[in-house]
């Protein structure tokens, strides 16, 4: 294992202000998030742990913010284990408490030892998991229209670009706990704008034209941001539910920017919207039976959504039922949906280098599913040879021995898997190489057509040294059957943040593929940063620090995101 290059002149930490005037303190989420609905303890019974109504409300908020994404609103599990009371009561309070405190190398964060949750909060969450979860209400067209707001009508928007921003090299950066995004210039590292959004924006997506930026928060709020305006700002917004993850726009020729789609975790549904105004046009529930056992599931959440380049279709992952939906948007009055049986529990994924094949992780089953988006059919299901694959969109590159491959890392172990993406090859859609990374808890792998490096994070690893570092591999030195040399970049050390447990997450390239950006994600009351590394030399190039950069997580380069470059 080679150590990353030493760098002098580390930046001194800027201490956060003591009083509550920071964005994370000012942010007030929508009262329709799962965490902020006023809930009552369901069906108290003799023998239930002692918990006040106030504690139950606070625990529900923490569960929404920290736990529901993996374990489900109803705690039935997916990426994370099921936390239904028949299981939690069998394990008991002390087991739950210790697991919350220490986490595990399989991807469960160490909420206690990292300082994210206090000792009292850990105790409260362990008791909370011994009680039945509250069932949130539905969210239909009436609720959506109440929240739909066209801030600037299409006819009142600029007819030409009104700023000098190099939009293609702009970074949209999630400021998780501030309920904002930052638009950062990829050339000079300056923040152009800070824009209020929903809570904990999960992804940023770019319209086919490159003009509009769409973001969706975990509270299911969608913001449509016009990048042509003198000062980029929200021109339309809507809440499509109470918890969500995915938004996308139509890309097929003739339908560019015509529609947008967003998928919800709760209620389990997706909505197709007008691409200029976000007016909700059609809602489709995803409740139904699992593909394998044919049993009804009340919470089949919508995970990744991609837009096909070959057909007027959205590709929609339905996590719990294990079905991939090809949603034909050419006629919303006679909506056609192709339902493909795949595998549970579908999560994230991306396209191969030809943009024809969609490769997605069914992470609780340790499988990778391949869809031919041109023919609209299942191409393959293969074992990832690791535990809980979590690729983000994955990474495409040409291996010296195996040809074109697509890479994923894993939440549950320290392996990286490469699968062959040559549909005519003898190893088509099979894992052709598996090698070690830093440890479990990886969320993203990344490369770029102009790069010779593959980057792998270990964000959720409980070991502070591992979660603050990134593994790098030289692509041209990879050999079949041999463990590639791992270079470790101490990104957290380079950021110069002495307090907290800063976690490194989501490598993202600039447009040219010459730099890779890393979020240094710390607790909301501590200093965070973005570290920029020179891709050729693997040396530190810049540390971006600003008191407005509160808990930066996802970063999305406008050009790479729009063109599906990964």
Catalytic residue numbers, as ranges: 67, 70-71, 108, 347, 390
The length of the chain is: 566
CA atoms within 13 A on the CB side of 39: 26
What would you measure as the largest C-alpha separation in the chain, in angstroms? Answer: 67
- Identify the DSSP state of 93: H
Using CA atoms, how far apart are residues 406 and 354, in angstroms rounded to an integer?
A: 11
Asked whether the beta carbons of 323 and 316 are under 8 A apart, the reply is no
Q: Which residues pair with 243 in a beta bridge?
A: 266
| Cα–Cα dist 549/551, whole Å | 6
Are 505 and 444 contacting, i.e. CB atoms less than 8 angstroms apart?
A: yes
Question: At 456, which helix (H) or strand (E)?
Answer: strand 453-457
DSSP three-state, residue 156: helix
- Helices 93-102, 119-128: axis angle to 10 degrees equals 130
From edge to edge, which strands make up the β-sheet containing 302-307? Answer: 302-307, 313-318, 323-328, 336-341
**H or E segment to which residue 94 belongs:** helix 93-102
> Which residue, among 131, 151, 121, has the nearest Cα to 88 in the 3D structure?
131
Strands of 51-158, DSSP E? 149-150
Distance CA 33, CA 143 (A): 13
DSSP-assigned letters across all residues of 95-159: HHHHHHHH--TTS---TTTTTSS-HHHHHHHHHHTTSPPP-PPP--HHHHHHH-EESS-GGGS-S
- Is-cis flag, bond preceding 345, omega within 30? yes
- Give the pairing of strands 259-266 and 280-285: unpaired
Cβ-based burial of 456 (10 A; exposed 0-12, middle 13-18, buried ≥19): buried
Give the residue from 391, 403, 450, 453 showing the smallest Cα distance to 429.
403
Q: Are 393 and 204 in contact (CB under 8 A)?
A: no
């Amino acid at each position: 294992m080679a150590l990353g290059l030493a760098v002098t002149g580390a930046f001194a930490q800027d201490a956060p202000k003591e009083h509550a005037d920071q964005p994370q303190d000012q942010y007030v989420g929508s009262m329709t998030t799962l965490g902020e609905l006023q809930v009552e303890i369901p069906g108290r019974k003799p023998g239930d742990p002692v918990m006040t109504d106030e504690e139950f409300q606070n625990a529900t908020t923490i569960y929404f913010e920290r736990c529901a994404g993996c374990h489900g609103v109803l705690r039935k599990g997916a990426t994370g284990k099921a936390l239904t009371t028949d299981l939690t009561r069998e394990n008991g309070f002390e087991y739950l408490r210790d697991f919350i405190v220490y986490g595990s190398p399989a991807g469960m964060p160490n909420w206690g030892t990292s300082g994210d949750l206090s000792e009292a909060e850990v105790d409260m969450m362990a008791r909370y998991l011994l009680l039945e979860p509250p069932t949130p209400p539905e969210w239909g067209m009436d609720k959506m229209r109440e929240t739909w707001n066209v801030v600037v009508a299409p006819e009142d928007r600029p007819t030409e670009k009104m700023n000098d921003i190099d939009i293609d090299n702009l970074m949209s950066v999630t400021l998780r706990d501030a309920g904002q995004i930052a638009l950062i210039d990829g050339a000079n590292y300056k923040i152009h704008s800070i824009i209020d959004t929903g809570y904990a924006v999960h992804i940023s997506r770019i319209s086919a034209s490159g003009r509009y930026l769409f973001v969706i928060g975990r509270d299911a709020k969608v913001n449509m941001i016009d990048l042509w305006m003198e000062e980029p700002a929200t021109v339309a917004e809507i809440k499509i539910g109470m918890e969500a993850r995915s938004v996308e726009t139509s890309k097929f020729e003739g339908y560019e920017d015509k529609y947008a789609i967003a998928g919800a975790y709760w209620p389990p549904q997706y909505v197709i919207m007008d691409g200029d105004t976000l007016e909700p046009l059609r809602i489709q529930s995803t409740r139904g039976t699992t593909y394998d056992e044919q049993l009804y599931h009340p919470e089949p959440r919508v995970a990744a959504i991609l837009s096909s380049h070959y057909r007027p279709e959205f590709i929609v992952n339905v996590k719990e039922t294990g079905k991939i939906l090809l949603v034909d948007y050419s006629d919303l009055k006679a909506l056609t949906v192709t339902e493909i049986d795949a595998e549970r529990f579908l999560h994230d994924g991306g396209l191969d280098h030809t943009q024809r094949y969609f490769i997605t992780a069914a992470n609780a089953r340790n499988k990778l599913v391949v869809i031919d988006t041109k023919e609209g059919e299942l191409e393959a299901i293969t074992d990832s040879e690791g535990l809980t694959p979590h690729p983000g969109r994955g990474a495409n590159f040409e291996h010296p021995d195996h040809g074109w491959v697509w890479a994923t890392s894993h939440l549950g172990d320290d392996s990286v898997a490469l699968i062959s993406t040559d549909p005519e090859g003898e190893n088509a859609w099979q894992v052709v190489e598996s090698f070690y990374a830093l440890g479990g808890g990886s969320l993203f792998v990344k490369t770029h057509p102009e790069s010779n490096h593959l980057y792998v994070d270990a964000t959720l690893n409980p070991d502070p040294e591992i979660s603050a570092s990134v593994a790098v591999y030289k692509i041209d030195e990879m050999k079949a059957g041999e463990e590639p040399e791992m270079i470790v970049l101490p990104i957290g050390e380079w950021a110069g943040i002495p307090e907290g447990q800063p976690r490194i997450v989501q490598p993202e390239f600039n447009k040219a593929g010459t730099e890779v950006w890393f979020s240094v994600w710390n607790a909301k009351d501590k200093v965070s940063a973005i570290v920029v590394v020179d891709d050729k030399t693997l040396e530190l190039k810049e540390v971006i620090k600003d008191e407005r950069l509160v808990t930066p997580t996802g970063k999305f380069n406008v050009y790479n995101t729009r063109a599906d470059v990964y």
